[in-house]
Amino acid sequence: MNKILIVTLILITGLNAATAGNKDRAGQAGAYELLINPWARSSGWHGINTACVHGIEALNLNVGGLAFTGKTEVVFSHCNYLQGTGININSFGFSQNIGHDGVIGVDVMSMSFGDIMTTTVNLPEGGIGTFKPQFINLALAYSKAFSRSIYGGITLRGVTEGIADAKASGIGLDAGIQYVTGDGRYDDRIKFGIALRNIGTPLKFQGDALTYKGDAQDGNYTMTVSERSQEFELPSLLNIGASYDFHFGKKMEGKTNMTTNRITLAGNFASHSFSRDNIGIGLEYSLKNEFMVRVGYNYESGITNPDERTTVYTGIAGGFTFELPLSKKTGNTVGLDYSYRASNPWGGTHTLGVRFNM
């Protein structure tokens, strides 16, 4: 009972600490795709599971959770981002336990916008072809179990944005820690997490799109002039989360202190450097670790008022998972994940993922 009170106090404290973020710097960052969670399982409760996220999905929330990879994990994900916009996100992740309580992980996220009509000042209606913007992020991570209670990691991420004749590239760094109570990895009930994300080099667009033919300052001839573009920062943030597991029902065979039913309550506070802060809370129910359903709500100042809202999301998210065993002897499983995040306007964000644990 005391543990429940501790978690409740932490969540209330985080709620009281939530402010409107840094208004003076709002809109000054770029590469906001780094704030998009492309994975189906964790986005099912709006990414508020900073304290309890495990496996390759931890790279987008708290890399400390990568250390919980048992052997090998492979994940594929497809995201129909804001249905009706034509934007799609495809992601691939791979993590491998390398022994000595260490795990390495790699993920690739590609964001495509389809064909966009090329226009100019003289041809505002187009008719001269199309172009395809594409954003790609590549991450390499290492995480380690430092003890039975402390798990930490670091992520190095390369960021690229561009079209055919203009690109911007940069490097970002994430670091995260998870703390769990008790003596075992998988039967602990209270978890805490903190993660610092998107700290890195500024980006700047360069390329032929920023050049034009102009008159020379001295003389009567033309020359190619290159315009300078403004640098922009990565959207850095700090995640602080906690979670508590309620176990009930029959004990599962071969798994100490784990029962057929589990309900996890999680909360998270996200402090953004270039936008409004978020406070979120969510629930996940698990039946024999084979079927899971989850729901989350992520709040920020003004989200309930269409005239003040600065995010397309309305705060509600939900999802489910089927985790089916491939072999009882080896413990290999295959999972199917789905999530939905409500938005206004557009038809929300749908994400479908497949994972293999080997």
Tell me how many degrees the CA angle 157-158-160 measures, rounded to the nearest 5.
140
CATH of the domain at 35: 2.40.160.40
- % of the chain residues with pLDDT over 90: 65
Question: What distance, in Å, lies between the first and last C-alpha atoms of the chain?
Answer: 37
Please tell me the distance from the alpha carbon of residue 5 to that of residue 346, in angstroms, as a whole number: 40
- Beta partners for residue 299, in sequence order: 279
Model confidence at 214, in pLDDT bands (50, 70, 90)?
confident
pLDDT at 185 over 70: no
Q: Exposed, middle or buried, 84 (CB in 10 Å: 0-12/13-18/19+)?
A: exposed
Indicate the Cα dihedral angle 31, 37, 39, 42, nearest 10°. Answer: 160
Distance of CA 96 to the CA centre of its chain: 20
Q: What is the pLDDT of residue 331?
A: 80
For tokens 């065979």, name the residue. 253
pTM of the model: 0.88
Pairing between β-strand 134-145 and β-strand 102-112 as defined by DSSP bridges: antiparallel
Q: Exposed, middle or buried, 49 (CB in 10 Å: 0-12/13-18/19+)?
A: buried
Please tell me the distance from the alpha carbon of residue 199 to that of residue 186, in angstroms, as a whole number: 31
Q: What is the pLDDT of residue 280?
A: 97
DSSP for 39-69? -HHHHTTTT--TTT--GGGGGGT-GGGGGG-
Query: What 3-state class would DSSP assign to 344?
Result: coil
Q: What is the pLDDT of residues 231-273, one digit of tens each?
A: 999 999 999 999 999 988 887 766 656 788 999 999 999 999 9
Average pLDDT score over the chain: 88
Residues 6+ apart with CB under 8 A from 124: none
Q: What is the pLDDT of residues 95-125, one digit of tens each?
A: 999 988 999 999 999 999 988 888 888 888 8
Model confidence at 12, in pLDDT bands (50, 70, 90)?
very low
Q: Exposed, middle or buried, 246 (CB in 10 Å: 0-12/13-18/19+)?
A: middle
User: 55 or 208: which carries more pLDDT confidence?
Assistant: 55
**Mean pLDDT to the nearest integer, 292-320:** 94
Q: Where are the alpha helices (DSSP H) in the chain?
A: 2-17, 40-43
pLDDT at 211 over 80: yes
pLDDT at 5 over 60: no
Q: What is the pLDDT of residue 193?
A: 96
Residue 347: left (phi > 0), alpha (psi -120 to 50), or beta? alpha
Model confidence at 229, in pLDDT bands (50, 70, 90)?
confident
Q: What is the pLDDT of residue 58?
A: 97
pLDDT at 4 over 80: no
Q: What is the pLDDT of residue 22?
A: 60
Q: What is the pLDDT of residue 257?
A: 63
**Mean pLDDT to the nearest integer, 166-194:** 85
User: Radius of gyration over alpha carbons of the chain, in Å?
Assistant: 22
Please tell me the distance from the alpha carbon of residue 312 to that of residue 127, in angstroms, as a whole number: 31
Residues 6+ apart with CB under 8 A from 218: none
User: 337 or 181: which carries more pLDDT confidence?
Assistant: 337
Output the six-digit token pair for 201: 């080099």
Q: What is the pLDDT of residue 94?
A: 98
Please tell me the distance from the alpha carbon of residue 24 to that of residue 31, in angstroms, as a whole number: 18
Q: Of the ranges 175-179, 205-209, 281-285, which one carries the lowest mean pLDDT score?
A: 205-209
User: What sign results for the dihedral spanned by CA atoms 47, 53, 54, 59?
Assistant: positive
**Mean pLDDT to the nearest integer, 324-347:** 91
Q: What is the pLDDT of residue 258?
A: 72
Number of structural domains the chain divides into: 1
Report yes or no: 130 and 116 within 8 Å, Cβ to Cβ.
yes
Q: Exposed, middle or buried, 329 (CB in 10 Å: 0-12/13-18/19+)?
A: exposed
Model confidence at 183, in pLDDT bands (50, 70, 90)?
low
Q: What is the pLDDT of residues 60-103, one digit of tens each?
A: 999 999 999 999 999 999 999 999 999 999 999 999 999 889 99
User: What sign results for the dihedral spanned by CA atoms 204, 92, 350, 52?
Assistant: negative
Q: Of the ranges 9-13, 18-22, 115-119, 126-130, which one carries the lowest mean pLDDT score?
A: 9-13
Q: What is the pLDDT of residue 234?
A: 94
Domain that holds residue 151: 2-357
For tokens 């209330």, name the residue. 12
Output the six-digit token pair for 210: 């920023």
Q: What is the pLDDT of residue 187?
A: 59
Indicate the Cα dihedral angle 353, 356, 357, 358, nearest 10°. Answer: -170
